[in-house]
Amino acid sequence: MHQIQHTEHHFTSSELVRDIVIGMADGLTVPFALAAGLSGTVAPTTLVVTAGLAEIAAGSIAMGLGGYLAARSDAEHYVSERRREEIEIVTLPEVEREEVAHVFREYGLGEAEIEPILKAFQNNHPAWVDFMMRFELGLEEPNPRRALTSAMTIAGAYIAGGMIPLAPYMVVSEKSQGLILSIVVTLFALLVFGYVKGRYTGTQPARSAVQTTLIGGIAAAAAFLIARMF
């Protein structure tokens, strides 16, 4: 039981990092690309900033609420699947026994090793259900408080990321200066973010920095070209 709790703590912290990464990766990239794209049109600087802020509002709400509902539906899915396993173990014990045996046969165990496991599960239904949830269905028990945390983290990271490329347009008077400053500041922020992301997620930091910066650069270039075409 202690180990299961320990595992969940570990999962929660890595999911927090994942949420920050999800929100900030898009926040740094899409408002940056949109502002760069619009700065290539007749739109005045104030409209570039307005569009950027509207995008940040829409993007952070869409991603945050989306994350909230995804986490809640994961939690509900887990509860309903767990209830089904609990019922099946009582009503279809032979089928469930065969499913356990099947899992172990795939890992090269013979009937002699599997039979005692089945007996132990027969006498311990909660452990049997736990086993089926994780090893047959591949489902981890979600943390019930994760839905809200996840939503706030993704939305907050999106807003924080999105303000970086937008700030330059707010402080300079010339739109072209704003674009250049935004490119410099954001590419630098993408490099730093990619590097830190790499350290946390186990990718090589230098490569992660280059990849993250490339995504932002390509997205901004595409938005710029498309906005120019129209």
> Please, which of residues 62-121 interact with a copy of itself by CB under 8 A?
62-63, 65-66, 69, 73, 76-77, 80, 102, 104, 106-110, 112-113, 116-117, 119-121
Place of tokens 């270039």: 221
Question: Is residue 54 at the binding interface for a copy of itself, with CB under 8 A as the rule?
Answer: yes
User: What are the start-end ranges of the H helices in the chain?
Assistant: 2-39, 45-91, 93-106, 111-122, 125-131, 146-171, 175-201, 205-229
Q: Which amino acid is at 115?
A: E
Q: Which two tokens stand for residue 9?
A: 């703590």
Q: Which two tokens stand for residue 100?
A: 């356990």
Among 8, 12, 16, 51, binds a copy of itself (CB under 8 A): 51
Question: Is residue 171 at the binding interface for a copy of itself, with CB under 8 A as the rule?
Answer: no
Q: Which of residues 12-41 bind a copy of itself (CB under 8 A)?
A: 25-26, 29-30, 32-34, 37-38, 41
Please tell me the number of Cα atoms within 13 Å of 143 on its side-chain side: 19
Nearer to a copy of itself, 91 or 110 (CB): 110
Minimum Å gap between C-beta 46 and a copy of itself is 7
| CA 89 centroid distance within chain | 34
Q: Which of residues 129-158 bind a copy of itself (CB under 8 A)?
A: 130-131, 134-135, 138, 140
